[in-house]
Structures are given as C-alpha cells and as structure tokens.
Amino acid sequence: MSASKEQMYPKSQAYLPEAIVRLHPKLHEILGPDSPTFLAELDVLLAQGASNQLVELFRRYPAAHQELQEQIVEIFQEREGKTLRGDLGPFGVPHVRGFPGFAYRCNASSGTHWVALFEVTRRNLVGQALCPEHNKPLTLKRR
C-alpha cells in the first residue's frame, strides 16, 4: 500500500470515529448482503484503532465510503460552524470542497471509482488532481 493511498486529511481523520458511529446503524441497509463481512472486519479494525485501514475498508465499498464522506462533512460543519471550503490545504479544489455532491472520478483500467475531495493529496504539472491509488488524472463530477 503506497503512502499516498494511506493519507487522509488530518481534520477528516479526527472526525472518522464519530462518523463511523453515526453511520453504523445504516450499514446493514447500505451494504446489504455484504454487511456481515464488512462489519466483522470493521469491528477488528476499530478495536485496533487502525484509522488508515478503516478508510481502506470503506473505499472497498463505494456506497459506504460515500456515506462516510458525507458524515465527515456534516460533523466538520457542526464542529467548525463552516463548510470545508478553503480549509483543506493546497491539493484539492477549495471552492468546491464544501459541496457534498461533488467528488472526483477515476477512470482506471481496472474500472471507474470515486475519490473524495479530501483524499486528493497530489496534482500533476498542469494542476489536475491525481488518483491516490492509480496516479491518474481525476475528473471533478457531481455525484
């Protein structure tokens, strides 16, 4: 696992445990038949306190990952009293970050997947956000 794939914006990481607690009651509905496997692995990772591995677990289940991102945005807005806009560092798109309907889409050869705005940690020479997993340019889309 590459270092960039493991990175998560520090404020988002601070809100991760609470976001998971809020999301936990909905996981059966979100994941359907995959929920027993997911929840078993989630319990192990929570007991270990492995936040980077928790994020990777959620990334493997796109619907749960999207819900987790939305919970983190909601918690941030409650705690900070503001949107995420302009507060997440140099790598993302500050004027779009506060809008929960946006995400980056990666069209990798292995398939299309979504990348949360706060997960972007690198850009190419022309300023395009790069996928943390595939190192390919991403496209900003409304989900």
**Band of pLDDT at residue 103, cut at 50, 70 and 90:** confident
**Which residues form the domain of 134?**
102-142
82: pLDDT strictly greater than 90: no
Q: Would you state the structure tokens that stand for residue 51, as one six-digit string?
A: 């936040």
d(Cα 30, Cα 49) in Å, to the nearest integer?
Answer: 23
Q: Would you state the structure tokens that stand for residue 77, as one six-digit string?
A: 């807005």
Domain for residue 74, yes or no? yes
Domain for residue 30, yes or no? yes
Same domain flag for 73 and 108? no
Domain for residue 93, yes or no? no
Least confident of 12-16, 35-39, 67-71, 93-97: 93-97
Q: How many domains does one find in the chain?
A: 2
Report the predicted TM-score, pTM, of the whole model to 2 decimal places.
0.54
CA atoms within 13 A on the CB side of 111: 4
Domain for residue 47, yes or no? yes
Instruction: Sort 127 into a burial class: Cβ within 10 Å, 0-12 / 13-18 / 19+.
Output: exposed
Greater pLDDT, 81 or 125: 125
